[in-house]
């Protein structure tokens, strides 16, 4: 936040914006130092402590990260400000802006907007460590199948191994970030501010834009293509990028999840294209561009917008909602249920039916030729079940705060899957400002639940969690 204040001065923002950033950063540093002081020396963490730290860490970040919005008056309401920050750190990209005194995003001081983009980028870093280095070892939702896949030393003790893995992943993340910034600036022709902010939002699959019309504001085929490429990359397991950068690009196509992701991306993109060609766009190339940009944006759970897909034909609208459930690959910054889980679940269903026909046959669920541990399959199916139950329960509760069922259901999947925009009243050209505080609080919880892969947050609610 301190850095944002300096930049804010550089960009000539009004003084109140700068002061709010400075005050926030002072307050946050003070509390963080206090926390560090209180917990010093206490490094023997149990499994349970781990969940607590991750959950409360994200909550802490969302509360303190909201200070610049509140103090500057850009989002005076605390719940909405926390909503915006949680949306940033969980890389959801659902926004309550523009609203109130700021009817366009362009009218908000750049320092605040930069902080907004930065919450995405930091969130993305946290997600990478969480999803590649931590969750597989805790076995969250069947992710133990990725234990052997991550880069870094495999024989070390947990803590140094996590540190090494995190550094390698962050290196890849930083490299891709740099590449996109330079491409957007020099090939796409954006200014530095737009290039950096959009890159942060792309690499984190976040979706916050600096423009009210999102990426559509630039109306440039070149920019669409650059952002689409990096959205696609951000939805891929970062371990694969690491191996590619160290000279093993063949690992991409060898990975069954990547193949499923690519094929699903291609097929859904084509379905969208042919559904909107003729009905929305008369030129095939326009339909192709809009369909693949929007498809990539939704499948990777980024949430950038170049076309108002809320006005597309019904089949396209529901296909986009289904893609929200699927999400990116495991070990990416993308949200949703994750491609590998859907893929394994599909194989489990086929296996179940075959088994049913031949009760005595011994059948296994296989991924890339290798049998998947039964336990992992069972956890994956349980994860899916929990995801659906949370979705259903939250959608029911949201009907109290939204005008129609479509808004209720898609506002939940858009936050639970960390996508951003939904349909109807939270559709492509709308935002979440109109949802009352209790509804926003529920969606804040959904964003956290989705980002921390459900289990991490849910067990905090189990009565047994708080017992010694």
301 is annotated as contributing to ligand binding: yes
**Cα 153 from Cα 248, distance rounded (Å):** 17
Find the binder of a second copy among 39, 396, 436, 437 (CB under 8 A): 396
Q: Which lies closer to K ion via its Cβ, residue 72 or residue 202?
A: 202
Q: Which lies closer to a second copy via its Cβ, residue 270 or residue 459?
A: 459
Residues 112-151 contacting a second copy, CB under 8 A: 138-140
Distances 465 to 135, 315, 456 between C-alpha atoms, Å: 18, 44, 11
353 binds a second copy (CB under 8 A): yes
Chain residues binding K ion by CB under 5 A are 93, 207, 301, 303, 420
Tokens at residue 213, please?
A: 């019309």
Do 309 and 214 meet the contact criterion of CB atoms below 8 Å apart? Answer: no
354 binding partner (options K ion, a second copy, none; Cβ < 5 to 8 Å by kind) = a second copy
The least distance separating K ion from the CB of residue 275, rounded to whole angstroms, comes to 23
Radius of gyration for the alpha carbons in the chain, expressed in angstroms and rounded: 22
386 binds a second copy (CB under 8 A): yes
Q: Which lies closer to a second copy via its Cβ, residue 15 or residue 375?
A: 375
385 binding partner (options K ion, a second copy, none; Cβ < 5 to 8 Å by kind) = a second copy
345 binds a second copy (CB under 8 A): yes
Find the binder of a second copy among 52, 57, 98, 315 (CB under 8 A): 315
Q: Which lies closer to a second copy via its Cβ, residue 253 or residue 346?
A: 346
The least distance separating K ion from the CB of residue 305, rounded to whole angstroms, comes to 11
418 is annotated as contributing to ligand binding: yes
322 binding partner (options K ion, a second copy, none; Cβ < 5 to 8 Å by kind) = a second copy
The answer for residues whose C-beta is within 8 angstroms of residue 333's C-beta and 6 or more apart is: 91, 124, 127, 128, 203, 204, 205, 234, 235, 238
420 binding partner (options K ion, a second copy, none; Cβ < 5 to 8 Å by kind) = K ion
Specify the long-range contacts of residues 459-467, CB closer than 8 Å, at least 24 apart: 459/51, 460/51, 460/52, 460/55, 465/48
Find the binder of a second copy among 282, 283, 314, 362 (CB under 8 A): 314
91 is annotated as contributing to ligand binding: yes
**Cα 66 from Cα 47, distance rounded (Å):** 29
**Cα 144 from Cα 330, distance rounded (Å):** 11
**Cα 273 from Cα 57, distance rounded (Å):** 42
Angle formed by the axes of helices 47-65 and 15-38, to 10°?
A: 160
Q: Which lies closer to K ion via its Cβ, residue 89 or residue 243?
A: 89
92 is annotated as contributing to ligand binding: yes
Binding residue count for a second copy, defined by CB under 8 A: 53
Provide φ and ψ at 103, rounded to 5°. Answer: -85, -5
In this structure, the dihedral spanned by the alpha carbons of residues 46, 386, 368 and 356, taken in order and rounded to 10 degrees, is: 130
Stretch that binds a second copy, among 10-18, 81-89, 390-398, 427-435 (CB under 8 A): 390-398
Tokens at residue 437, please?
A: 């505080």
Give the binding site for a second copy (CB under 8 A).
47-48, 51, 138-140, 313-315, 317-319, 321-322, 345-346, 348-350, 352-354, 356-357, 359, 378-379, 381-382, 384-386, 388-389, 392, 395-396, 399-400, 402-406, 408-409, 423, 455, 458-459, 462, 464-465
Binding site, residues?
91-92, 206, 301-302, 418
Binding site for K(+), residues?
91-92, 206, 301-302, 418
């Amino acid at each position: 936040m301190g850095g944002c204040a300096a930049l804010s001065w550089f960009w000539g923002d009004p003084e109140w914006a700068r002061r709010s950033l400075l005050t926030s950063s002072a307050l946050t540093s003070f509390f963080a130092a206090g926390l560090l002081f209180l917990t010093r020396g206490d490094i023997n963490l149990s499994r349970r402590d781990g969940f607590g730290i991750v959950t409360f860490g994200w909550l802490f970040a969302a509360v303190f990260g909201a200070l610049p919005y509140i103090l500057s008056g850009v989002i005076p309401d605390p719940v909405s400000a926390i909503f915006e920050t949680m949306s940033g750190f969980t890389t959801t990209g659902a926004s309550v802006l523009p609203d109130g005194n700021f009817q366009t995003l362009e009218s908000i001081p750049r320092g605040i907007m930069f902080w907004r983009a930065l919450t995405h980028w930091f969130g993305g870093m946290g997600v990478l460590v969480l999803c590649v280095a931590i969750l597989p070892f805790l076995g969250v939702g069947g992710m133990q199948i990725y234990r052997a896949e991550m880069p870094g030393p495999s024989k070390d003790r947990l803590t140094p191994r996590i540190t090494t893995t995190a550094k390698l992943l962050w290196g890849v993340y930083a490299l891709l970030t740099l590449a996109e910034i330079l491409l957007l600036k020099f090939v796409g022709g954006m200014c530095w501010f737009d290039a950096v902010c959009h890159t942060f939002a792309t690499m984190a699959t976040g979706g916050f834009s600096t423009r009210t019309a999102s990426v559509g504001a630039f109306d440039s085929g070149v920019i669409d293509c650059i952002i689409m490429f990096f959205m696609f990359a951000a939805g891929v397991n970062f371990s694969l990028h690491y191996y590619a950068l160290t000279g093993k690009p063949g690992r991409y196509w060898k990975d069954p999840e990547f193949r499923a992701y690519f094929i699903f991306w291609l097929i859904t993109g084509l379905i969208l294209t042919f559904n909107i060609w003729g009905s929305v766009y008369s030129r095939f190339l326009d339909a192709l561009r809009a369909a693949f940009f929007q498809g990539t944006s939704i499948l990777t759970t980024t949430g950038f917008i170049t076309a108002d897909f809320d006005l597309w034909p019904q089949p396209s609208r529901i296909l986009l909602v289904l893609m929200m459930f699927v999400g990116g690959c495991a070990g990416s910054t993308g949200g949703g249920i994750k491609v590998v889980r859907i893929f394994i679940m599909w194989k489990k269903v086929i296996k179940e039916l075959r088994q049913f026909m031949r009760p005595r046959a011994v059948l296994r669920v296989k991924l890339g030729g290798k049998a998947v541990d039964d336990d992992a399959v069972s956890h994956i199916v349980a994860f899916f079940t929990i995801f659906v139950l949370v979705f259903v329960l939250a959608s029911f509760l949201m009907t109290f705060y939204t005008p129609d069922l479509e808004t209720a259901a898609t506002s939940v999947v858009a936050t639970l899957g960390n996508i951003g925009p939904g349909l109807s009243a939270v559709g492509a050209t709308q935002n979440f400002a109109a949802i009352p505080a209790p509804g926003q609080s529920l969606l804040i919880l959904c964003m956290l639940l989705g980002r921390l892969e459900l289990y991490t947050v849910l067990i905090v609610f189990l009565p047994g969690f708080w017992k010694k």
